[in-house]
A and B are shown apart, each in its own frame.
Chain A
Amino acid sequence: MYRKILTPVDLAHRDRLSRAVDTAVDLAGHWGIPLVLVGVTEAAPSAVAHNPQEYRQKLEAYAGEISGARGVAVEAKAYTAHDPATQIDDTILKAVEETGADLVVMASHVPGLASHVPGLGDALVPSHGGRLASHAAVSVFLVR
């Protein structure tokens, strides 16, 4: 059906990740295909890590945790962006291209950002999943 699933994760909000990640892991297990977790961080120190390397290590550790617990091949791919708040979509699109994933499973809204604002609000606070789905060449599965 699919060759590889990609799931964007926000390590700063791990508690709120579980539904999208659970879904992705289930699907990956069901089809017996690999899952790649994509994380984006800034170069400056963040709540998650002091620097991009530490962020990558944490993402890899998280991938390893899931992989060990669920018996699915989980890979981690970490990116830096100059301004992550405005570059999440672009990062995911780039990751789709670089990892060769053909299915994106993600939360419909990135935690911390608000949802469903009609009109101007949509331009300011877009639904990442929604915008991504219209830009990506691959299938996008939004988890609500």
Chain B
Amino acid sequence: MNDDATRAPDPSGIDAIPAPEGATALIQTEYEIGQDNIELKVGPFGLDIHNPVFLISGLTIVAFVILTLAFQNSVEPLFNGLRDFLTGTLDWFFIGAANVFVILCLVLVVSPLGKVRLGGKEATPDYSYAGWFAMLFAAGMGIGLMFYGVSEPISHYSTAIGGVSVENGVRTDWAPLGAAAGDQAEAIRLGMAATIFHWALHPWAIYAIVALALALFSYNKGLPLTIRSMFYPIFGERVWGWTGHVIDVLAVFATLFGLATSLGFGAEQANAGLSFLFGLPDNDGSKVVLILAITGVALLSVVAGLDAGVKRLSEINMALAALLLGFVILVGPTVLIATGFFQNLWAYVEYLPALSNPIGREDANFSQGWTAFYWAWWISWSPFVGMFIARVSRGRTVREFITCVLIIPSLVSVLWMTAFGTAAIEQIVTQGVTAVQDAPLELKLFEMLQGLPLTAITSFVGIVLVIVFFVTSSDSGSLVIDTITAGGKVNAPVSQRVFWAIFEGLIAIALLLGGGLAALQAMAVSTGLPFTIVLLIGCFAIVKGLMSEPR
């Protein structure tokens, strides 16, 4: 075997298997991947699906969609109430847990456990840094940055400068912490710090924990690549039974509803953008066409596969995003953004302890309505994003992994928020233009771009980015759901991922036309609670798993 010649990862993604890549502490289990699977043929399509998980998750999802469509008026307040109850009363739990994830990640980077390599001591990375980063970033955040990059800094800045208002002893303002009434410079700092807080270390730590646990238990311990494997250290062989089925079904449920509802809302936002820019009619017909187009491209992508489809689209996506970011930095207030990057980073560090404090908060509206909501939201996405990151992270050391999944994305988020937030705030504060402030959420980005030159081109890039970000979430999401519902098999027949991608598009259309997007999104966010517990157990599993690895 000419192993030395094949050490570098081949760009085709196909490599001869090298000599042993170093010992890993395999877990000996009775379970054989695929043992509970059923293989059948539906017409011309072959299927290889996990017996209870595929059926139960498929049927639960259909049941929830029908229930929501049929009893919209009574279901929506119920689901919204559930979400508000969780983020309102358990805010301390979400905020505290997210801190645990960040701290564990940072400790792992500097501890000797950081030397453990995913896949064995001599394992080589599956992807180059660029391809790896493009995929994990496009799956993890993407679309939110497009909409909240402009709107969130403005929101926090406006509420902060508005100061604290109290009615009957209860704060009615939405400002972070103690606000910064009338102090413009401080309000900007606080606004940027609060925005960055929601988009930097904490969300990426949430993803990193899930991804690290899954990668470790699959590549080093030999367990199937599915959410339940994280629980092996706790439940042992029982994870292959109903305990595990429930966890996997919940993960599919959260992922599919998270994706379908964002696709539905995304179509609304993209439609608003297109009608603002090109006068496209803003109606259900256009939205359905948009969903079909996004789903269609996602379908081509999953059929082409991980490398030829998902990776390529993610790279195009990153290139476009970098272009737009570079443009805003160069043409917008360049010096302000450059100095702002460091100032905002410092403001973030300075406000971090207060913002992440889980108990005794006086800014309930902000800490519950924004922070706890965001944390529940990121956590409900974590099975999907985490599993996808795990899939593409083989061959990296824990230290490299956390640097690239936590620290670099956080810095990119800081830069992005600084560029878009500063450009927007500058238009409001120094130019006195309030168009951005007054615009609805989905148009804020385009209003901001109108204040800069070359609007036609940048807005077009903006709208293309919005759409491509949806495609990259949709295709990677379909791969993840397919793997979970195939019992951890990543080589199940392609027709299955086609099924999930179409299913997701159809649910988005049904909810868009029949109503219920908001209700089911609230339901998806509510799954943040059980997954917070899953992640806390994941932390324990990671430490335990890493300790037993040779390093």
Contact = CB atoms under 8 A, between A and B. Distances in A.
Interface of A: 12, 40-47, 50-53, 55-56, 77-87, 90-91, 94, 98, 112-117, 121, 123-125
Interface stretch (B26-34, B148-156, B278-286, B447-455): B26-34
B488 A124 contact: no
B308 interface: yes
Nearest to B309: A86
B498 A124 contact: yes
Interface residues of B, number: 50
A6 to B, nearest CB: 14
B14 A91 contact: yes
Contacts of B391: 44
Contact of A117 (B17, B20, B44, B120): B44
Nearest to B19: A53
Given A52-B17, A90-B14, A85 B491 contact: yes
Nearest to B45: A114
Chain B interface mostly helix, strand, loop or mixed? loop
A50 B222 contact: yes
A41 B33 CA distance: 14
A53 B16 CA distance: 10
Contacts of A52: 17, 21
Contacts, number: 132
Contacts of B332: none
B75 interface: no
A87 B14 contact: yes
B488 A87 contact: no
A121 B308 CA distance: 19
A19 B20 CA distance: 32
Interface in B221-280: 222-225
A43 B119 contact: yes
A77 B16 contact: yes
Given A45-B488, A87-B13, A121 B120 contact: no
Quick one: which of B20, B41, B309, B490 has the most chain A CB within 10 A? B490
B362 interface: no
Contacts of A85: 305, 490-494
A44 B127 CA distance: 14
Contacts of A45: 33, 218-219, 222-225, 488
B48 interface: yes
Quick one: which of B41, B225, B306 has the most chain A CB within 10 A? B306
